[in-house]
Amino acid sequence: MTFQTLDVERDAERPEVLRIWFNRPARRNAVNDRMMLEVGDVFGALQTDFTTRVVVLGGRGLSFCAGADRKRDDQPLDPPTTEREARFRNHLGRRAARAIEDCEIPTVARIQGHAAGGGCVWAVSCDFRVATTDALFWYPEIELGVPLTWAATPRLLQEIGTARARQMVMLCERVDGRRAEQWGLVHEAVEADLLDEAVQRWVERILAMPETALHMTKTQFRGYGRAFAQGDVSEADGDQIELARRLPGTKERFTAGF
């Protein structure tokens, strides 16, 4: 598979490790439709990859992923030809997050710079998260005048609890790596020059575990997560996004800087 927004590479020394990089560094790996489509595609394809034992998800350049790209799209998809295709497009982000979450292979997020909006959603969708102490986690959706979608809220509730999730989502709280570690949003926060070393340490811990037992246990956790998210309304994400875009002032908020 070839991609325009991702760089996929197999570790030369440990071929059982696959590294997937968001690869739009000039825009801090901001999310466009093509990236959403490609993230869903690459993680969906991993369901039949029986040689990879760990997937590391990271971002090239200064940031992991800075959320929605609010500049002109320089990698546009062809326009949708039907209403159903247009609705499918509105669900690309949720489908990508679900593909990461449902990946049969243990996943580790390598986080530096910004993990905002959709980038934060995708980081939280990973099994394990390692970040720099100055990384910034942030859901800006309410400030932009739109709801947080992509099934992000129940996933965040499960990871850090209702009180902290409410603080992050409703108040658009900026959380740095140190506080993210305290809250349980990341598993380890380290100085920037130690990030790769720390990520590799988590990779080695995963590889040291019996593969079949680990896979069975990940499947169990996924089942528990589904039970936790009962009542999840994310199937209507695309409709909520479309409705929010039509609200007065939303377009102005979205195109304005912070």
pLDDT of residue 222: 85
Question: Average pLDDT by consecutive 10-residue portion of the chain (258 residues)?
Answer: 95 96 98 97 97 98 95 93 92 95 97 98 98 98 91 93 97 98 98 98 98 94 73 62 70 63
167: exposed, middle or buried (C-beta count within 10 Å: 0-12, 13-18, 19+)? Answer: middle
3-state DSSP call for residue 163? Answer: helix
Give yes or no for a contact between 156 and 198, defined as CB atoms under 8 angstroms apart: no
Backbone angles phi, psi at 243, to 5 degrees: -65, -45
214: exposed, middle or buried (C-beta count within 10 Å: 0-12, 13-18, 19+)? Answer: middle
pLDDT of residue 257: 58
DSSP code at position 187 = S
Concatenating the DSSP letter of every residue in 48-77 gives: G--S--EEEEEESTT-SB-SB--SPPSSPP
pLDDT of residue 240: 66
**pTM: predicted TM-score of the whole model, two decimal places:** 0.89
pLDDT of residue 75: 96
Measured CA to CA, the distance from residue 197 to residue 164 in angstroms comes to 29
Backbone angles phi, psi at 107, to 5 degrees: -120, 145
pLDDT of residue 246: 72
pLDDT of residue 238: 64
pLDDT of residue 208: 98
Give yes or no for a contact between 147 and 244, defined as CB atoms under 8 angstroms apart: yes
Alpha carbons within 13 angstroms on the beta-carbon side of residue 14 total 15
pLDDT of residue 224: 83
Strand partners, 131: 111, 189
Q: Are strands 136-138 and 114-116 parallel, antiparallel or unpaired?
A: parallel
pLDDT of residue 65: 98
Using the CB atoms, write b or e for 220-257: b if 16+ within 10 Å: eeeeeeeeebeeeebeebbebbeebeeeeeeeeebeee
Domains belonging to the chain, first-starting first, are: 6-255 (3.90.226.10)
Q: What is the CA radius of gyration of the chain?
A: 17
Measured CA to CA, the distance from residue 9 to residue 11 in angstroms comes to 6
Measured CA to CA, the distance from residue 152 to residue 138 in angstroms comes to 12
Measured CA to CA, the distance from residue 245 to residue 107 in angstroms comes to 33
pLDDT of residue 122: 98
